Structure 1
């Protein structure tokens, strides 16, 4: 019993340490919403909370077109991004996975804090898939500059495919995830759903 209690307390302590380390990282805070209009290089959108916001889109803003994907599109050497929840055993449990087209390999590479749609803080890992195994759902080895993570992808997790997009695809009614620059006035990037698709990140 003593050993069992020690193991339990050890697991809880490890879990707390994992969560704390995730919270200590710089956190990316995207804004999610629906486009109201895009004119004169200004993107007007309504957030999921119902607030109306505007942000400038410049020639440096990366526009990405996001469509529905599937687990079969994740292969060894695929470049992916995944919002996830750190687990006590050191793995990451995916909340979604986005597969980038080959020309976008390296986009946002790394492992950092991420604010989820519900306001909770998890992690985002962008890197190259190495080994894939089939236990506990689908387990991927994801490497990036400076590290590697084991990502567990449950069967019910949404999969998206990301392509290079164009500003003219920022149309009224499209679902977007906006990444504000440090000044808060211009967009560093905008992920826009294709044909009504809602980007899951």
Structure 2
């Protein structure tokens, strides 16, 4: 006698295959960026054309309530005990946390984003916003012990590590050639909207 296979299972198998292929396609799509780092190419009303650091052309629509800050360079000696800082770190071969950059928050920004989390500046980088509890000078720069509400971290800051701080800024500084970091949200049509921009002063590239 011929063997009859159940046919009811076929729709479920097909549905499972469609679902699996959809999940696979979604996994292959790169995540939407939360930041755009680059140089302003042109300004047209509330739309910025930006060449990203990776070479992509991006258009950013500025919201009506957009906030701006300027970024200026300061020295390593400007980091004091009690300073509230943010620092991007990468693990060194010796297990130490090496600073890629340090930004010192002004007092009215104390507590901003306190804690430690993965960051998108470099592979395996981490962003930590915390208070400087101890600083030790050494031949290779300074070692900072920074503490936040859920822990602490010892960070090595080399002499050539960029150190910056925030200053007030306005939209007049958004001009061709300016280096920016824009915090963005991708809209349904694929364009990007920004409500917060950090702009480097005097040609400075914001290092964070």
Question: Which band: TM-score by shorter chain?
Answer: 0.7 to 0.9
Rounded to whole Å, the distance in 1 between the matches of 2:95 and 2:115 is: 16
What secondary structure, in the 3-state scheme, does the structure 1 residue paired with 2:108 have? helix
Distance 1:145 1:60 in 2: 30
Equivalent residues in 2 for 1:121-200 (5 A)? 121-135=124-138, 137-181=141-185, 183=187, 185-200=192-207
Q: Which residue of 2 aligns with 1:63?
A: 68
CA deviation digits over 1:124-150, x for unaligned, max 9? Answer: 111211111124531111122322211
Alignment partner, residue 54 of structure 1: 59
- The SS at the match of 1:195 is helix
Unmatched 5+ stretches in structure 2: 1-32
- The Cα RMSD (Å) is 2.3
Aligned-residue offset at 1:85: 0.6
Shift of 1:89: 6.3
Unaligned runs of 5+ residues in structure 1 are 1-27
Give 1:32 deviation, angstroms.
1.5
Structure 1 CA distance for aligned equivalents of residues 61 and 45 of structure 2:
9
Say if 2:117 and 2:127, in contact at 8 Å, map to a contact too.
yes
TM-score by length of 2: 0.73
- Number of residue pairs matched by the alignment: 172
| CA distance in 1 between partners of 2:93 and 2:150 (Å) | 21
